[in-house]
Amino acid sequence: AQSVTQPDIHITVSEGASLELRCNYSYGATPYLFWYVQSPGQGLQLLLKYFSGDTLVQGIKGFEAEFKRSQSSFNLRKPSVHWSDAAEYFCAVGDNTDKLIFGTGTRLQVFP
């Protein structure tokens, strides 16, 4: 069965520092991979996605993620974090069943 693991429940960084959020998945074939962001009390917004091709994908708000098949990972990165990036981040994996499996999320706190 598919699964997604986000090992970090809560991360705190200073504004301007770099960021990496970890995501590991379990799936037999090449998965469809997503990162979503959620502000408190809001819905989820898609940051970026990977289907095939170039393993480094660019998203909105200056985020990028790299698909590493050998490590079953899809980590999210940003070179310089802004205070407005404070939110909860979810990694998700999909296959050919029209469903997504979500990780439990990583809460990002940004200090000025």
Contact between 42 and other proteins per CB under 8 A: yes
| 52 contacts 11 by C-beta, under 8 angstroms | no
Contact between 58 and other proteins per CB under 8 A: no
Single out the segment in contact with other proteins by CB under 8 A; choices: 46-54, 55-63, 67-75, 76-84. Answer: 46-54
Single out the segment in contact with other proteins by CB under 8 A; choices: 19-27, 43-51, 57-65, 68-76. Answer: 43-51
Q: Looking at beta carbons only, is 17 or 69 nearer to other proteins?
A: 69
Q: Which tokens belong to 7?
A: 């090992």
Contact between 46 and other proteins per CB under 8 A: yes
User: CA 7 → CA 93, 105, 109, distances in Å?
Assistant: 15, 9, 16
How far is 47 from 61, CA to CA, in rounded Å? 8
**Interface contacts to other proteins, rule CB under 8 A:** 9, 32, 34, 36, 41-46, 49, 51, 90, 94-95, 98-100, 102-105
